[in-house]
Amino acid sequence: MPARPPTTAERPREARPPQAPGPDRYGLAAWVYDVATAGWSGGAIWRTRARALEHSAPGSTLLVPGPGTGRLVVEAARRGLKVTAVERSPRMLSRCERRAARGGLQVQVQLGDARDLPAEPLYDTVVLEHFLNVFPPDQMVHVRDQMIARVRPGGVLAVADFTPLDPQASGLARMAQRLHHVTPLGGCALLTGNAMHPIYDHGHDLEGRPDLSLEAIHDERSFGYGPAWFRCWIFRRREASK
Ligand SMILES: C[S@@+](CC[C@H](N)C(=O)[O-])C[C@H]1O[C@@H](n2cnc3c(N)ncnc32)[C@H](O)[C@@H]1O
């Protein structure tokens, strides 16, 4: 009997052809990035990133694609994690390196595209901190799958992003939340070329995946008491069944 053709999901993915690096558009935002994100989120963006570290032990390995100015990377190194980061923007990367140097810390930050990371090694923790927002929905799903594949069985995937819309919330509250999301996204789209897209619901998307279990959800409030419009999901990659 002829072999059954593979489904789309079963087909091996072709490697992305090598691409020449484009202009450093994120570099345009590098100088203002920390102040803008801290101000816009009332510190909640930082707190969602930091939540990821609560689930990682000193001495364990951590992968951070798109670390930006490197605040998390440096904090992780300070806590004794072995950090690898891959950043596409030279100016972001140089801020990240300078921050590490100021703290007298060693972090391995590579200039490159995280989508080109080799299949090995796998990491104890992979943190996607406001990274998936860069991509339009179809690409985001693929990039997220790639990053999940970088987590060792038993390891942690932390995803920090905007909190999904609550269907129980009032129309006004949902409109305010949409506006709060679309404003920085629009600014980034103009400045950095990021995609415009709806708020991603990683919890909903990844629910029911046989290789992941949801361990925790941390919602963070702007200025500690405002609306909780930023979220960190903690997933554990299941050990392969014997
Ligand atoms: C929205 S910023 C997030 C920065 C930081 N992770 C944070 O939590 O604020 C996205 C970062 O990802 C970087 N980036 C975008 N696409 C990338 C790619 N394909 N590979 C590596 N870095 C990328 C950008 O240069 C930028 O520094």
Reported as a single tens digit per residue, the pLDDT across 18-49 is 566 678 888 888 989 999 999 999 999 999 99
Ligand 1 center–CA 87 separation, angstroms: 6
92 part of a folded domain: yes
65 part of a folded domain: yes
Q: How many residues does the chain have?
A: 242
Alpha helices, DSSP H, located in the chain = 27-41, 44-53, 71-78, 90-102, 137-148, 171-192, 202-206
Proportion of the chain above pLDDT 90, given as a percent:
82
Is there an atom of ligand 1 within 6 Å of 68 CB? yes
Domain count, the chain: 1
Ligand 1 center–CA 5 separation, angstroms: 37
197 part of a folded domain: yes
Tokens of 106: 């060693």
Atom of ligand 1 nearest to the CA of 49: 8
Widest distance between CA atoms in the chain:
65
Is there an atom of ligand 1 within 6 Å of 232 CB? no
Is the pLDDT score of 3 beyond 80? no
Q: Considering the chain, what is the average pLDDT of its residues? A: 91
Ligand 1 center–CA 3 separation, angstroms: 42
212 part of a folded domain: yes
115 part of a folded domain: yes
Atom of ligand 1 nearest to the CA of 86: 21
Phi, psi of 6 (to 5 degrees): -70, 150
The pTM assigned to this predicted structure is 0.91
**What CATH number has the domain bearing residue 83?**
3.40.50.150
Phi, psi of 122 (to 5 degrees): -95, 155
Atom of ligand 1 nearest to the CA of 72: 8
Range of the domain at 171: 43-237
Phi, psi of 233 (to 5 degrees): -95, 135
Take atom 10 of ligand 1 and give the residue whose Cα is closest.
131
Q: What is the pLDDT of residues 163-183, one digit of tens each?
A: 999 999 999 999 999 999 999
Chain mean position to CA 180: 19
Q: How far is residue 67's CA from residue 64's CA, in Å, rounded to a whole number?
A: 6
Is there an atom of ligand 1 within 6 Å of 88 CB? yes
24 part of a folded domain: no
| Over residues 131-144, mean pLDDT | 96
Between the CA of residue 220 and those of 100, 153, 211, 223, what are the distances in Å? 26, 28, 27, 9
Best probe residue, ligand 1, of 134, 147, 150 (max atoms within 8 Å of C-beta): 134
Ligand 1 center–CA 51 separation, angstroms: 18
13 part of a folded domain: no
110 part of a folded domain: yes
What is the torsional sign of CA 71, 58, 51, 189? Answer: positive
User: pLDDT value at position 21?
Assistant: 64
Q: How far is residue 75's CA from residue 68's CA, in Å, rounded to a whole number?
A: 13
Is there an atom of ligand 1 within 6 Å of 87 CB? yes
